[in-house]
Structure 1
């Protein structure tokens, strides 16, 4: 089972105009946590995202696509980073996520969200599901 631990953004992060020197204590806590995940064999990926002003959204209206450049206003709805893990159960994912360091510092308010990823086995068998299995095999090679 794969889960994504989603780190919600903050107004301070979104307002950042230049890369900041990382807080050494926070970076150490994050490195320790991700090292534990890696040693346990459950870490798939983890990265921080740059502020939304460097991104864009694609809005769909039928066949029309419109590009909207960032920044985006509701920072509490934005994602600042993520960690993807693969574990045996929801309970194991919950245990790992409870150990996640506070992403903005020990005494600050923050939110992380955890969501399970779909697996191909969650879908009814079919030609397109099989096609995705083949794509997965290609990407693993």
Structure 2
């Protein structure tokens, strides 16, 4: 099963905590965590995201959709990075999530990545077959 761990930062709390952090130490601790995931064979990918001020949001409540540049003053949490893990169970995903070296003002949201078998379509559906081919080509 694939699980995605999405890092969520509460900007005010994280900013207070970050003032006391040594960035070299942060990178070393996170690097060691990523290395542990890789050695365990559960690491598929991980990326950090740029600052929210560089992002944009697409709102589909109207036609055509409306694009709004960041940052978003109403946001209480900002997504700052993610990991995708391949694990045997939810319990294993929980284990790795609780080992993540994050501090005050940061949380992880963990969601199972849907498999093709979760989609209620006949196996001969053209788009489902293409999606399976795309995913196979990425591996």
**What is the TM-score when the length of structure 1 is the normalising length?**
0.81
Would you say 1:43 and 2:65 are equivalent positions? Answer: no
1:53 counterpart = 2:53: yes
Give 1:120 deviation, angstroms: 0.7
1:19-98 residue pairs with structure 2 within 5 A?
Answer: 23-61=23-61, 63-98=63-98
Which residue of 2 is the match for residue 18 of structure 1? none
- Alpha-carbon distance in structure 1 between the residues aligned to 2:44 and 2:114: 15
CA distance in 2, matches of 1:47, 1:29: 16
CA drift of 1:122 comes to: 1.0
Structure 1: any 5+ residue segments left out of the alignment? 16-20
Q: How many aligned positions are there?
A: 131
**In structure 1, distance between residues paired with 2:14 and 2:91:** 32
The aligned counterpart of 2:18 is none
Is the partner of 1:3 in helix, strand or coil?
strand
Cα deviation, residue 125, structure 1 = 3.7
TM-score w.r.t. the length of structure 2 is 0.82
1:84/1:22 CA distance change after superposition, 3 Å: farther
The gaps in structure 2 that reach 5 residues or longer are 16-20
User: Which SS does the other structure have where 1:91 is aligned?
Assistant: helix
